Amino acid sequence: MPKFPFHKNVKNNKSIKRSKPVKDELKEPAVEGFEIPAVRSGSLEEIVSVLSQVSYIQTVIDGKDIVLLNIESRDLDKRPYLFSMIYLQPDKIKVLYTVTVGMSPKKRRIDVLRYFFTILSMISEYYEIKMADIYQLFEDSIDKISEYVTLDYEEMYAKYDSMKSENERLKRDIARLKETNRELSKENYEIKTKVDNLKIKLQRLSKYSDDSLNVRIMEWIKEHDGEINIPEFSRMYGIPDKKTEELLNKLIKQGYIESV
């Protein structure tokens, strides 16, 4: 029976030494397996011929056995790392496979079983297998598969519960943002109203030139017996009191009116 290629790292009874130590070497994978009684009814050549149609497996005749090697990945030294071996023996079929570090053994078994039954379907006319033995294989594996599915469901439900909580938090955030948006809209409306009022006042200010206001000031003084009420005049023409005072002082300096 062929040995697993990862079991040893020796050549000519001498250890292979590295020039530099490797800190993060891959840990050797675990090995698991199962077997099922089966009586071979076809020749080795017939079975090998049928299996040669599958390009990803290597087929080797080892005495009375046919060994199928399916290499799924290799390590840094190009040695098989994740792989399975099926031994087609005269009275049984044995399956050995590796489980790498961090991999779910239950999920790995499901994947290997799927591959195993694919091979069985190809060689079914060359092996006699009792349904009771196939059922027993399912019975031995069903607990592990069910445990994996249950664990997967619990993990999925935990993610769902987490997403539900996150969704509720986002809903609260959206509600707060809507309220903030309403407040900002109200503030924006108030600011817009103030801006509009300032624009109106600016338009009023730009409506009268200084010369025009000077004429109106002198007409006001003439009509009111030489007096002027600055706040009233300013309110009538929509200008600040300070502006009216500046115009009055300018008229006095220019000699158009006299201050009594």
Residue 92 lies in a domain: yes
Q: Given this model, what pLDDT does residue 215 score?
A: 87
User: pLDDT (tens digit, 9 = 90+) per residue, 52-98?
Assistant: 988 889 999 999 999 999 999 988 888 889 999 999 999 999 999 99
DSSP 30-82: EEEEEEEE-EE-S-HHHHHHHHTT-TT-EEEEETTEEEEEEEEEE-TTS-EEE
Give the pLDDT confidence score for residue 178 in this predicted structure. Answer: 85
Q: Give residue-wise pLDDT tens across range 196-216.
A: 777 776 666 556 778 888 888
Structural domains of the chain, count: 2
Among residues 155, 171, 198, the one where a domain terminates is: 155
Closest CA to 138 of 173, 114, 172, 162: 114
Average pLDDT in the chain: 81
* Separation between Cα atoms, residue 23 and residue 145, nearest integer Å: 35
Dist. CA 97–CA 103, nearest whole Å: 13
Instruction: Clarify whether residues 139 and 211 are in a common domain.
Output: no
Give the span between the Cα atoms of 185 and 193, in whole angstroms: 12
The helix/strand/coil state of 4 is coil
Q: How far apart, in whole angstroms, are the C-alpha atoms of residue 241 and residue 211?
A: 17
Instruction: Quote the pLDDT of residue 91.
Output: 95
Predicted confidence at residue 95, as pLDDT, reads 95
pLDDT, mean of residues 172-179:
85
pLDDT single digits (tens) 230-250:
999 888 887 889 988 998 888
In a domain, 234, yes or no: yes
User: What was the pLDDT predicted at 155?
Assistant: 66
* Residue among 151, 144, 154 nearest 106 (CA): 144
Do residues 215 and 149 both lie within one domain?
Answer: no
Judged by DSSP in three states, 221 sits in helix
What was the pLDDT predicted at 36? 92
What is the C-alpha to C-alpha distance for residues 231 and 239, in angstroms, rounded to an integer?
9
So what's the pLDDT on residue 38?
94
Smallest CA-to-CA distance from 127 within 151, 92, 155, 103 is with: 92
Which pLDDT tens digit goes with each residue over 148-162? 555 555 666 666 667
Tell me, what's the pLDDT at 9? 38
Domain boundary among 155, 170, 185: 155
Q: Is the pLDDT of residue 19 over 80?
A: no
Same domain, 106 and 221: no
- Give the separation between CA 48 and CA 29, rounded to whole angstroms: 29
With cut-offs at 50, 70 and 90, classify the pLDDT of residue 123: very high
Question: Given a cut of 90, is residue 194 above it in pLDDT?
Answer: no
pLDDT in tens, 106-120: 888 888 998 999 999
Task: Look at residue 185 and tell me if it is in a domain.
Answer: no
Higher pLDDT, 35 or 259: 35
Phi-psi region of 131 (alpha: psi -120 to 50; beta: other; left: phi over 0): alpha
pLDDT value for 115: 92
Residue 213 lies in domain: 207-253
Last residue of a domain, one of 155, 190, 216: 155
Can you tell me the mean pLDDT for 10-32? 57
Amino acid present at 250: K
Specify whether 40 is located in the same domain as 124: yes
